[in-house]
Amino acid sequence: KVILGLESSCDETAAAVVTSDRRVLAHRLAGQEAAHRPYGGVVPEIAARAHVEALIPLVEGALADAGLTLDQIDAVAATAGPGLIGGVMVGLVTGKALAHAAGKPLVAVNHLEGHALSPRLSDPDLDFPYLLLLVSGGHCQLLLVEGVARYRRLATTIDDAAGEAFDKSAKVLGLGFPGGPAVERAAALGRDVVPLPRPLKGSAEPHFSFAGLKSAVVRAHDSGRWSVEDIAASFQAAVVDCLIDRTIRALAHADAATALVVAGGVAANQAVRGSLSALASANGLRFVAPPLWLCTDNAAMIGWAGAERFAAGLTDPLDMPARPRWPLDPAAEAVRGAGV
C-alpha cells in the first residue's frame, strides 16, 4: 500500500509518500525557523499561516518525486494532534480534502504515535513490545509500545520536556533558536565542569523533571564564572544523566521489552544516542534509533504510522476533529496537571 503523509503540528510543514513495505518514495519538508527566529520561539499564528502557504506545494512536490498521482495513493494520513491547534487544523483539513477528492480513506495520526512508530520504519527487525524513550520539544515520556495503538506510559515529565529544556537553555545562553542542535554544537567545545542538579535522579517515582535544571543554567550563566560552552556541555551531560537514570528505572518494569528505542527530536542528539546505546548493551537489549532526519518532525513518520494503522484496519471519518491535547495512553494518571 502507498500512503500520503502530512505533518503540520508545530513549525515543520511536511509531506511524504511511504509504502507499507517501508519504502520512503518521497519526503519534502519546509521549516519555519527564519519566520520564528526574531521571536525566539514558535509563534502559533505565524506557524498556521506558513503551513497554509507551504502544504499544498509540498504535497504536489512529494507526489511528483514519487512519480505518482493522487489516484494511486491508497490512503491519506494526517497529523490530527497533539500540537498547535491552528497548524494541526491546516494539515488535517488538507488531508480530509485530499482523501475525499481521491475517494480514499483518511487515517488521523497522533503525532506522538508518528514518533513512537518511526523506529519501525527505519528498522524492519524492530518488533513489539519495546521500551521507548520519547524525547521531543513538547514531551518526555517512557512508553512500553505493545503494538499499534497500544501504548503504556511508564513515566512523563512533571514540568518541562527535554527538548524544551534544550530550547530554553539555548535562549539563556544566547545560542539562538532552535536550541537543541545549537546546544549540542556548543557542548562539543566545552567541558562538563559546571555543577548542575539532576532533578528526580534516583527518585522512587518514575517521572522526569527539567525545570530546575534550566533555572540552574540561568544561575550559572548569571554568575559569569563559566563559558557558554562549558555550561552547554554540563547541561547536556545533566540531561543525559537524568534520561539514563529514569530509563534504568523503567527497564525494571519492562521485562517484556526486546529493544530499547529512542525517538523524537532530542533523539537526534549524539550524547543521548551514545549513552542509551551503551545502556542497552549493558542490559543485553537491542538499541534502535531512527536516522537523524526521522527524529525531528517530518511527514514520513506520519505516513508510516498511517500505514501501520491502515494495515490494522484503523481509518477515520472525515468529521474527525483536531485534538490539541491527545495522550497516547489515556489511562495513564495525570501527573500534577503537567505533561500528558
**Residue 51 burial (CB count, 10 A):** 29
Q: Tell me which residue has its CB nearest to ligand ATP.
A: 265
Task: Give Cα separations from 95 to 73, 98, 208, 318, 320 (angstroms).
Answer: 12, 5, 35, 9, 11
Among 3, 7, 9, 11, binds Mg ion (CB under 5 A): 11
Q: Which is nearer to ligand ATP, 141 or 315 (CB)?
A: 141
Q: Which is nearer to Fe ion, 184 or 297 (CB)?
A: 297
Candidate segments 45-53, 102-110, 204-212, 258-266, binder of ligand ATP by CB under 6 A? 258-266
Interface mask toward ligand ATP for 225-254; x: CB under 6 A: ------------------------------
C-alpha cell at 234: 554540563
Candidate segments 102-110, 152-160, 174-182, 327-335, binder of ligand ATP by CB under 6 A? 174-182
Rounded Cα–Cα distance for residues 118 and 122 (Å): 7
φ/ψ of 244, rounded to 5, equals: -65, -45
Task: Specify the DSSP class assigned to residue 224.
Answer: T
Which of 173, 285, 314, 153 has the alpha carbon at shortest distance from 230?
173
316 touches Mg ion by CB under 5 A:
no
Determine the angle formed by the axes of helices 111-122 and 300-311, rounding to 10 degrees.
90
Query: Residues within the annotated binding site for substrate?
Result: 134-138, 167, 180, 184, 269
297 touches Fe ion by CB under 5 A:
yes
Q: Which is nearer to ligand ATP, 43 or 68 (CB)?
A: 43
Instruction: Give the neighbor-by-neighbor strand order of the sheet with 24-31.
Output: 24-31, 12-19, 2-7, 75-81, 106-110
Least spacing, CB of residue 266 vs ligand ATP, in Å: 4
Distance of CA 268 to the CA centre of its chain: 10
Query: Residues within the annotated binding site for Fe cation?
Result: 111, 115, 297
Q: Which does 159 bind (CB under 5 to 8 A by kind): Fe ion, ligand ATP, Mg ion, none?
A: none
Q: Which is nearer to ligand ATP, 105 or 264 (CB)?
A: 264
Q: Which helix (H) or strand (E) holds 12?
A: strand 12-19
Q: Which is nearer to ligand ATP, 199 or 339 (CB)?
A: 339
Rounded Cα–Cα distance for residues 300 and 4 (Å): 9
Number of residues that bind ligand ATP (CB under 6 A): 24
By three-state DSSP, how is residue 101 classified? helix
Contact present, 257 and 251 (Cβ < 8 Å): yes
Binding to ligand ATP (CB under 6 A): which residues in 277-296? 296
Least spacing, CB of residue 162 vs ligand ATP, in Å: 7
Binding to ligand ATP (CB under 6 A): which residues in 109-168? 111, 115, 136-139, 163, 166-167
Residues with Cβ within 8 Å of residue 302, at least 6 apart in sequence: 5, 6, 7, 14, 16, 77, 78, 79, 109, 111, 114
Task: Specify the DSSP class assigned to residue 316.
Answer: B
Binding to Fe ion (CB under 5 A): which residues in 135-194? 136
Least spacing, CB of residue 283 vs ligand ATP, in Å: 24
Candidate segments 5-13, 77-85, 267-275, 284-292, binder of Mg ion by CB under 5 A? 5-13
Among 181, 206, 212, 324, binds ligand ATP (CB under 6 A): 181
Residues that bind ligand ATP (CB under 6 A): 9-10, 83, 111, 115, 136-139, 163, 166-167, 178-181, 184, 264-266, 268-269, 296-297
